Amino acid sequence: MLEHEQVFEHFIGQAVITAPGVLVKSGKEASVYRCPAHEASGCAEAAIKIYKDIESRSFKGAKEYLDGRIGRTIRKRRDILHMLSSSASMQAYWVDAERSAMESLYAAGLPVPKPLAATNSAFAMEFIGE
């Protein structure tokens, strides 16, 4: 899992942000930072959501959450559950699921932040707020 400084460096290198940001909120799942966005992102500011280590997070109801996402066929369920057997792959799946949902909502024209980029442990999006 990338340290926060490494996440910021990654997104600076990807021309998503221009500098590390300030902490906006920290919760049980992740910490969100407000950063100056790179002009290439098309946003004034970016929100960087850095997920906490999955092993230290509480996942009450994770089975029900995953049941709705991994399908009903035995083969598909077996393949996905095997893929999620390590905490690193579970973390990457979690970030990718959020990114994918946000991209779908944004593409449909719903009022959600513009998705910008993601790593296995962080998600960058347009910052909306004050």
How distant, in Å, are the alpha carbons of 1, 57, 62, 64 from that of 125? Answer: 20, 22, 24, 27
Distance (Å, whole) CA 124 – CA 30:
12
Q: Residue 72: what pLDDT?
A: 57
The model carries a pTM of 0.77
pLDDT digits (tens, 9 = 90+) for 47-80: 999 998 766 655 555 555 555 555 556 665 566 6
How distant, in Å, are the alpha carbons of 1, 2, 128 from that of 9? Answer: 14, 10, 22
- Sorted by where each starts, the structural domains of the chain and their CATH numbers stand as 4-126 (3.30.200.20)
- For 106-122, what is the mean pLDDT? 95
How distant, in Å, are the alpha carbons of 56, 78, 81 from that of 26? Answer: 14, 34, 29
pLDDT digits (tens, 9 = 90+) for 13-34: 999 999 999 999 999 889 999 9
